[in-house]
Amino acid sequence: MSRTRQWVVPLVVFGALAFVPKLTVDIPYLFKSSLNTPGTLQLLALCLVFGGLALTYDLLFGFTGLLSFGHALYFALGVYIACIAVTKWHWDFVPALAFTALVGVLLPLALGAVSLRVGGIAFAMVTLAFAQAGSILVFKNPYKWTGGEEGLGTDYTKLPEAFVGIFNTKNLYWLALGYAAVVFVVVQWAVSSSPGHIWQAIRENELRVEVLGLRPYTYKLMSFVLASFLATAGGVVYLLLLGGATTDVTGANFTLTLLVMVVIGGTGHRWGALLGGILYTYADHRLSDASSSHAVSQLPSFLRTPLQQPLFVLGVLFILVVFFVPGGLARLGHVRRPRTLQRLQEAIQR
């Protein structure tokens, strides 16, 4: 694919998506209300945020071959630090943003420097442990900052007006779209840059990279910090979208769902993970709605009960995808078989 063509298609797609808030189109079954209503825009914005987040995870896993079970930590970081700075420390929005960005670079630098000293399963476990530590810290509610189990609502008065209030949902939609677009562009650029080529070389054969006189550690750390920073940015967007911080972004469960998103979409592609994230989020929300719908309530209780839990449907769906479409959705539209799962195997064996 020529370099220009590589950019034209995404440009067109993102451009088209920017027009959605202007559309008074009604898509029955897929959406509860027409496309330009706050309800639907909120849902689409969420899908875009998680699509972008899934892509940041893919940068780490699909492109560099680093299997992390703690990526959610950096997303939660973005959500909680920004929220705490504004609500508990009473900072203005811009300083809070700057501080979050700072932490979003320093923390992955520190934790990554430590975690990357090991590889394979050990690396996966260390990242899981750090994320779990973060989760515990949030629940412990030190100085009453995090709100513990109940989460923390944001102080609206500190946020930029453009993002507050239900009529401004379209601005939040554009923000989310912007986020997804930025992540896409950054990942695209990073992957085709020379460090990016080295990341992919590391994923294929780390030994060979060492033999060439390069230190894989430095490049892995680069990828780790970049992916984590982008995830933190996503966390801030998510915070604005929801208006508060909740604990469900901190659990190990959340990183597992990231893994599900990325596998469903197909790793190592620019748009596979993006698509996976969007579809998963969409399915998660719509299944909650569908489960209380008329059609489902007609079903006999042994069918109806499990269907009312979106995570059950998604878990089963995931199992089916793994059995029958192991390359993810990206595989269905591709000539060359993406070696999604081979990469996971390589990551584990390192």
Enumerate the H helices of the chain as residue ranges. 3-18, 38-58, 72-87, 93-115, 120-140, 169-192, 194-204, 206-211, 216-242, 252-265, 272-291, 294-297, 301-307, 310-324, 329-332, 340-349
Residues 227 to 256 in contact with other proteins, rule: CB under 8 A: 252-253, 256
Stretch that binds other proteins, among 4-12, 227-235, 239-247, 258-266 (CB under 8 A): 258-266
Per-residue binding letters, 287-326, with other proteins (x by CB under 8 A): ------------------xx-xxxxx-xxxxxx--xx--x
CA distance linking residue 72 with residue 6, whole number of Å: 30
> Is residue 286 part of the contact set for other proteins (CB under 8 A)?
no
Determine the Cα–Cα distance for residues 117 and 99; give it in Å rounded to an integer.
27
Q: Are 20 and 44 in contact (CB under 8 A)?
A: yes
Q: Among residues 260, 273, 278, 329, which is the contact residue for other proteins, using CB under 8 A?
A: 260
Q: What CA–CA distances, in Å, run from 345 to 66, 72, 132, 340?
A: 11, 21, 24, 9
Q: CB–CB of 51/180 below 8 Å?
A: yes
Q: What is the nearest approach in angstroms of other proteins to the Cβ of residue 164?
A: 32
Contact 47, 278 (CB under 8 A): yes
* Cα(333)–Cα(270) distance, integer angstroms: 13
Site string for other proteins, 93-122 (x = CB under 8 A): ---------------------xx-xx--xx
**Closest approach of other proteins to the CB of residue 161, in Å:** 38
Shortest approach of other proteins to residue 136 CB, angstroms?
Answer: 5
* Pick 185 or 341: Cβ nearer other proteins: 341
> Contact region for other proteins (CB under 8 A) — 47-55, 123-131, 230-238, 329-337?
123-131
- Please pick, from the candidates 9, 98, 133, 207, the single residue that binds other proteins as defined by CB under 8 A: 133
Q: Indicate whether 20 belongs to the interface with other proteins (CB under 8 A).
A: no
What is the nearest approach in angstroms of other proteins to the Cβ of residue 90?
Answer: 26
CA distances from 320 to 267, 277, 317 (A): 17, 17, 5
Q: Which residues bind other proteins (CB under 8 A)?
A: 114-115, 117-118, 121-122, 124-126, 128-130, 132-133, 136-137, 139-140, 252-253, 256-257, 259-260, 263, 305-306, 308-312, 314-319, 322-323, 326, 341-342, 344-345, 348
